[in-house]
Amino acid sequence: MLAPMLRQAGIFLLLMLVSTASFAKEKFQKTAPMHLDHEGERWAERTLKKLSLEEKVGQLFMIWVRAGFLNEENPDFLALRADIAKYHVGAFAMTVPVDGPRLILSEPFEAAELLNRLQKDSKVPLLIAADFERGVSMRLMGTTVFPHAMAFGAAGKTEYAEAFGRITAEESRAIGVHWNFFPVADVNSNPANPIINTRSFGSDPEQVGDLVAAYIKGAHSVGMMTTVKHFPGHGDTATDSHLSVAQVTGDLARLQAVELPPFKKGIAAGVDSVMVAHVTVPALEPDPNRVATTSPAIVTGLLKEQLGFKGIVVTDALDMSGLTRLYADNIGRAAVDAFKAGNDVLIIPPNLEAAYTAVLQAAKSGEIPSARLDASILKILKAKASFGLDKARLVDLENLPKTVGKPANLAMGQEVADDAITLVRDNGKVLPLKASGTADPGLPYQKAEEVRDRVVTVIFTDDLRSDAGRLLGKKIRSRVPDADVIYIDPRVAGAMTEPVLQAVAKAQAVVAAIYVIPTAGKIAKSDGGLKNSVSLPDASGALLEEILARAKEKTVVLAMGNPYLAEDFPMIENYICAFSNASVSEISAVKAIFGEIPIRGHLPVNIPGIAERGAGLERPQSSARGGR
């Protein structure tokens, strides 16, 4: 009996040793500054020679992967594997599942595990990119939360932008993402811009360029590819290129003075890629049917030859209406024209089959010269080698708890949001608000204390079913337990007008928090038709006007996003800009109105008729209460 037991124990021990040895042999990506050594360069050149024409064309394309848990037999996972096998795609853009306009955030482990599986399925290592404009928290829970870029402009510290780049790179690389489509180098000089707005650092080309360069430096210190966008500048437009063709109307002198300087600073800082916008620029490209993406004069002539950019040129998403409207009769042709214009990577085609086939046929016919194709593929392969993907393409899942969501990094995101809070107007009659202590939970079944409406908070959102303003309302109630918090969206604004105004009339102080941020593809409707989607919708705007007409002296308006809102409501007497709807900005805004933090932000943009860039009333901390 003893012998079989010993034999079984020996087998078990052997299996354990084999398993441990196998695990020890598993190679994982190293998070370190990008470096292309001689061995990596040779790998890229050898790989290029081995690729068939079909495989070369596939390397040009980047498609979506919506991170989340996917069973290996899930149709979505099987479709991803099929695209790798059939089209030989060279890259994925990681995002998350969507429910209408709402992103369904995933967990870091889910994302990293899925990306590892896709890497195993691909013959050539995959480049994984993402739009982490506000950090990884835009897509994944438990990661460091940062405010919108304009908040960094308001805080005015390049060291914040550098830390932003470093922390985002650390968390991105931990989950297997190598390439961030950020920083935004657009100068938001047009208050009516519906799509850039708070995604830009501001309206001053010099400050935008300095923050762009600082972000690149921080990201590079850890080892992440960066992207300046949207070349040659999308800041002076009044159209969302996701919906229609936007036009940049400035002349050459204007472009050289305003739009291009941040891109030049980004290139000088060593940015890895430039994303080209679907905008028409008559001063650079006279053909109205050529957006920048498909213009050789802009991509090759200006970007590559005049500005000397040698890195990877990437299109904005090819499925945006700003481009597809021009190719409605031949949707695949957009990819060919974009490549011929000088782009290296073609992202998110509206129809992968059509785009891939069109580029492949153009390559076979000689319309796309083989040397031109090889040059772009070699850039892409060298980028992969610079991450060491030729040696190890997986990430270590055990490293995630050590890297993602570090307390010090979370504190940095909050510090930036705190320093960004900008007091534009203050009549001296309402700020700071006074906290009234902690709510007494009372006994079970005890009669609830009647709400006294000392502080009324009206939260304006696009959809009151969303999470917008929930944290802000909670934080106000933690300071004033009997505060009346009312949520408004355009559908209920009219019906809620009388009860809101009754509450406002009784209140000692009113907080109107306006949640309006740039949202891709968002259409705002008004009585006169469509309107700027970063304006307050008509019904909600009418209610805000009523509140201000009756109680402007005791009303504080919080711009939780678009700072230009005050232009539509010049009667505002107390105006605070947070420049962001991120949770850290909600926390900062509440701390600011209760005097718990000093207010020291300054406007990074001009608000016509309200305040000039650089304006900001500084206030010391006046309350001892701290924390979040």
- Which are the catalytic amino acids? 242, 316
CA torsion sign for 608, 206, 420, 417 is positive
- Rounded to an integer, what distance in angstroms lies between the CA atom of residue 438 and that of residue 235? 45
- Rounded to an integer, what distance in angstroms lies between the CA atom of residue 475 and that of residue 235? 34
Q: What are phi and psi of 604, to 5 degrees?
A: -90, 5
- Rounded to an integer, what distance in angstroms lies between the CA atom of residue 587 and that of residue 152? 16
Residue showing tokens 């917008």: 468
Q: Which residues, at least 6 apart from 376, have a Cβ–Cβ distance to it below 8 Å?
A: 60, 339, 344, 345
Distance of CA 538 to the CA centre of its chain: 27
- Rounded to an integer, what distance in angstroms lies between the CA atom of residue 620 and that of residue 622? 6
Q: Do the beta carbons of residue 314 and residue 335 sit within 8 Å?
A: no
Lookup: tokens for 152: 């960094």
Nearest to 543 by CA among 473, 492, 507, 610: 492
Nearest to 216 by CA among 201, 238, 202: 201
Nearest to 129 by CA among 81, 91, 88: 91
Nearest to 291 by CA among 359, 356, 244, 352: 244
- Rounded to an integer, what distance in angstroms lies between the CA atom of residue 380 and that of residue 311? 10
- Rounded to an integer, what distance in angstroms lies between the CA atom of residue 67 and that of residue 117? 12
- Rounded to an integer, what distance in angstroms lies between the CA atom of residue 537 and that of residue 559? 14
454: DSSP letter: S
Count the Cβ atoms, other than its own, within 10 Å of residue 16.
10
- Rounded to an integer, what distance in angstroms lies between the CA atom of residue 212 and that of residue 201? 8
- Rounded to an integer, what distance in angstroms lies between the CA atom of residue 44 and that of residue 549? 67
Q: Bridge-partner residues for 231, per DSSP?
A: 276
- 47 to each of 44, 116, 599, 617, how far by Cα in Å? 5, 21, 56, 59
